[in-house]
Structure 1
Amino acid sequence: MMKLLKYLAALLLFSVLICGLIAWYGMRDRNPGYTYDKKWETGVSTIRAGFAKKEINPEVPDSWKDLNGNGIYEPGLGERFEDGNNNGKFDAVYMAGFQQNRPATAIHDTLWARAMVLNSGGKQVGLVVLDAIGLFNDQVISIRKKVAEEIHLDYVAVISTHTHEAPDLIGLWGKSAYRSGVDKDYEQKVISAATAAIVEAAGKQEGAWVTFVQDTTDTLGYLVDDSRKPRVFDNGLRLMQWKRQKDSTVLGTIVAWANHPETLWNRNTRITSDFPHYVRQGIESGVYVKDSLAEAGTGGVAMYINGAIGGLMHTSPRFGIPGIAGDTLYKRASFDKAKAQGERIALHALKLLREGWTKHLEETSQLLISRSVTLPVANRNFRLAGATGLINRGFSGFFEMRSEIAYWQFGPAGFLFVPGEIYPELVNGGVEAPQGNDFCASEPSQTPPLRNLMTDQYKFVVGLSNDFIGYIIPKSQWDEHPPYLYNDRKSTYGEENSLGPETAPLLYQSFSGIIKETWK
């Protein structure tokens, strides 16, 4: 009996050791000692800019029949895959953003890595925007290292549109809740394409001048809904367009708005960038109403960047979008609905560029501050996902993650780079401390709003930048336990996809710190 007990104890100890090693390996720091702390400033100088884009479509060799239309592959209900490459197995491409086990059946429109590199005052900045749910900071570091092997840039930002209709690059949307959906070959394709787009854009730089224009009113408010109280939005449309000095033709356009690209919703099985596809297409090629040109396109490379989309900014099947001709209201998720949404954004943007109050610059100065930050991971599911290797994300300390923030001023414009989905009230104001919040806060936290601290004329807030840390929720609105906020019967969505309640306070302190460093 004693021998059996000793054997069982040894087996238990061995099992604990193996589990500990697996957890350590899964949570190990992929980039120990890495920081991206920068601070520099230039004088007024002429501008050079270059744009490029690279396709990042996955291979979708196999398709399948969704017999009940729920977007979930269910062989037990008679659903079968079509073996397009005749290898005898289902080569599933799992789509990110909604439920698990949503394999793609086809590609609807091209996914892109779209890049801009500019040079002014001897400092070069590169931005690349990916049609992706997001990238972890470790993947961003991989892109930077590859770029550095070919060219020198003084700052590189990797931004995701956060489309919910592209392949899983995080690991949370595989065949089941316990299996990653990341295809390593596809992940490397995205990293390589992002690198190539940045390098090509740098090589295409030429003398340029830039135009800024914005509409910070609620003009586009009818295109987005908010699923969580308080109902605060980030509806402003901000544009930055670059033209060649030699002939004033357009090099590229940055379009900044804020909404989850999930208009196709959770039953769609075709790869798409969602409404940003139609925004970019409209900017580049024009917007048509019943075959008549409503606004001519500008050409060049259009880039869509998302703003403060936490809270949750979205367009569900309950929310209607009017068609571009005004004679149809689309509620059910469809490509027609996404097209109407994207074209309406593009139409307003083109009108602003044509007739709005614009600011033109042929020379300007730059200032950049970036900081690595350490954030605690209180979310037990995220801890477990890291420990088991479900997500390929390193921990820089004991249940801590390294992330980063940045503030870039380019002439009259300021860009605040946010590593996740920040709630609009932290950016634009409207934080509340409703009864029932988990910390019994009586006063709103993280105030004043970040845009109030920014002194720029054009205040861009760039979400999903350089990391994917989830929702950034005001601490005075944190709500996991009863009694629930606003007398609701259940907890609101958001907390389960956040690192924890200290994320917003720590990031707010860091953001306000680097913004105040620019005050003169």
Structure 2
Amino acid sequence: MTKQNLIFCWVGLLLFVTSCQNNKIPQLQVGVSKENINPPIGSFIAGDKQNRTFTGVLDSLYAKAVVLHDGEKSMALVTLDCIGLLFQDLQKIREQTAQMEFDIPFSPENIVISSTHTHSGPDVVGLWGKDFSESGVNKEYMDFLIQTVAEQIHKASKNLQESTIRYGQNEFGEDWVANICQEEIDRSVTVLQFLDKNQKNIVTLTNFACHPTYMDAVYSEVSADYLAGFYKEMEKKWGGEHLFLQGAIGGWIQPTDKDGGYQKALQRGQELALSATASLLEPKTLSKSNLNFRSQTVIFPVMNEAWQQLSAAGIIVDRKVTEVIESEVVWFSIGEATFASHPGETAPIYGMKTKELMPEGPKFILGLSQDALGYIVKPSYFENPNLPHAPYLTRMSLGKETGNILMEELTKLSKQNNTQLPN
């Protein structure tokens, strides 16, 4: 081989290697950030009776943000330890992030907010003030919360690192979680884990359905309820960060072994973490890591006049409620993992129906996400007041058609397979 031919061979090889590198499928980048969101002592407690205020802190509440970037598209998933953030506050968070500079293509429309629904967190809705003459929302705290969430999204976007993704699935809670309406229940635990280049945990996402109400009406201290035990055990086992994604808890998924003790709550959270960990002993790895995201504004009819009255009186702050109310649902995927949001406490049947729309792979139902529109229950509860807890559940609902409309919109989103995230 002549010297000239040898040079041509080396140049060709170099071009081939460079071409392969340029065509390499980028790994998903993941960034995480969290911040304490404890309310001031004396703030109103959300859950159970009105006019209850915080006297101390048992364990801290957090805003936890995960930003995902697949090389072209990005999104943010945030969990909040609170009863349920309303849609108007999500919009305010989007307005805050729109004023921030990101190093990656990022649209505020690609923010998903999911609330854990602890009943030992602050009133972020307005229903649990002194009485119905004034809202229980602390406006200064809400300004702090909205700013903190926006900042955590921004910080997470600065902490991006390449990841591999694996998942596990399990069944859990037979001895302490029940649908007290004596109907369907989904006991699945689904975990998505993001690992760094050294195979160390960056963050986990765990989806399970059960009200965090061990502390409800028993303690006057701030607490994430059983999730405090879950967070602690997951951190002990894996390091990194851990987000809990509440599932479909309406109609009415509750702990059945409440004994008034804080240790019981921590124990149950620890057991949930052990179940999540066990599901990862023989994990499956996602073969894809691309992002897809769809969202849809939804107009729900308001058949319950109490919602309109609470809005008009300013109890529900900054939320316009007339004969209809505007909300949002999202449908997104991370590789083969599929996520769908429910804007309230949906009956398990709607979670199961949503999963039926999803392709093979890990499936996540994000209850109390993008909004908190009360209970979303079967139409039969409006038709038959003798069904278990029907008077209460319907009193806390928008109306009979909410569940059907939700499923119609999610079905449409599930069929939009090629929709891309906006940059």
1:107-146 to 2 correspondences below 5 Å: 107-146=57-96
Tell me what 2:248 maps to.
308
User: Which residue, 46, 58, 63 being the options, matches 2:27?
Assistant: 46
Tell me what 1:240 maps to.
192
Is the 2:340–2:354 Cα contact (8 Å) retained in structure 1? no
Instruction: In structure 1, give the amino acid aligned to 2:372.
Output: F
> What's the secondary structure of 1:339's corresponding residue?
helix
Is the 2:210–2:253 Cα contact (8 Å) retained in structure 1? yes
Instruction: In structure 2, give the amino acid aligned to 1:510.
Output: E
Q: Which moved more, 1:386-395 or 1:100-109?
A: 386-395
Deviation at 1:351, TM superposition (A): 1.9
> What's the secondary structure of 1:416's corresponding residue?
strand
> What's the secondary structure of 2:195's corresponding residue?
strand
2:139 is the counterpart of 1:189: no
Tell me what 1:385 maps to.
310
Instruction: In structure 1, give the amino acid aligned to 2:34.
Output: K
Inter-partner Cα distance in structure 1 for 2:335 and 2:392? 38
1:418-437 to 2 correspondences below 5 Å: 418-428=342-352
2:163 is the counterpart of 1:208: yes
Deviation at 1:393, TM superposition (A): 4.0
Structure 2, unpaired ranges of 5+: 1-23
Is the 1:284–1:299 Cα contact (8 Å) retained in structure 2? yes
Cα offsets for 1:386-414 (capped at 9, x unmatched): 01111114237x42111000110111110
Cα offsets for 1:261-313 (capped at 9, x unmatched): 1111212101101111111111011xxxxxxxxxxx10001111101110111
Deviation at 1:479, TM superposition (A): 4.1
Deviation at 1:198, TM superposition (A): 0.8
Tell me what 1:275 maps to.
226
Tell me what 1:518 maps to.
417
Deviation at 1:334, TM superposition (A): 1.7
Q: How many residues align?
A: 391
User: Which residue, 363, 377, 383 being the options, matches 1:459?
Assistant: 363
Is the 1:46–1:362 Cα contact (8 Å) retained in structure 2? no
Distance 1:366 1:456, change over 3 A: farther
User: Which residue, 402, 407, 423 being the options, matches 1:508?
Assistant: 407
Inter-partner Cα distance in structure 2 for 1:408 and 1:480? 36
Deviation at 1:337, TM superposition (A): 1.0
2:417 is the counterpart of 1:493: no
Inter-partner Cα distance in structure 1 for 2:38 and 2:259? 26
Inter-partner Cα distance in structure 2 for 1:269 and 1:470? 23
Distance 1:120 1:519, change over 3 A: closer
> What's the secondary structure of 1:478's corresponding residue?
helix
Q: TM-score, normalised by structure 2?
A: 0.88
The CA RMSD measured in Å over matched residues stands at 1.9
User: Which residue, 373, 385, 397 being the options, matches 1:469?
Assistant: 373
1:50-449 to 2 correspondences below 5 Å: 50-60=31-41, 92-150=42-100, 151=102, 152-154=105-107, 155-215=110-170, 217=171, 219-229=172-182, 231-245=183-197, 247-285=198-236, 297-315=237-255, 319-320=256-257, 331-353=258-280, 355-356=281-282, 358-361=283-286, 363-395=288-320, 398-428=322-352, 449=353
Is the 1:308–1:463 Cα contact (8 Å) retained in structure 2? yes
Is the 1:209–1:362 Cα contact (8 Å) retained in structure 2? no
Q: Which runs of 4+ in 1 moved over 3 A?
A: none
Deviation at 1:516, TM superposition (A): 2.4
Instruction: In structure 1, give the amino acid aligned to 2:368.
Output: L
Instruction: In structure 2, give the amino acid aligned to 1:221.
Output: E
> What's the secondary structure of 2:264's corresponding residue?
helix
Q: Which moved more, 1:365-374 or 1:490-499?
A: 490-499
Distance 1:391 1:519, change over 3 A: same
Is the 1:95–1:104 Cα contact (8 Å) retained in structure 2? yes
Instruction: In structure 1, give the amino acid aligned to 2:223.
Output: T
Cα offsets for 1:34-73 (capped at 9, x unmatched): xxxxxxxxx964210011101101221xxxxxxxxxxxxx
Inter-partner Cα distance in structure 2 for 1:107 and 1:273? 10
Instruction: In structure 1, give the amino acid aligned to 2:354.
Output: L
Is the 1:234–1:309 Cα contact (8 Å) retained in structure 2? no
Identity across aligned pairs (percent)? 29
Inter-partner Cα distance in structure 2 for 1:45 and 1:110? 37
Deviation at 1:107, TM superposition (A): 0.9
Structure 1, unpaired ranges of 5+: 1-42, 61-91, 286-296, 321-330, 429-448
Deviation at 1:496, TM superposition (A): 0.9
Q: TM-score, normalised by structure 1?
A: 0.72
Inter-partner Cα distance in structure 2 for 1:190 and 1:519? 34
Is the 2:166–2:284 Cα contact (8 Å) retained in structure 1? yes
Deviation at 1:374, TM superposition (A): 0.6
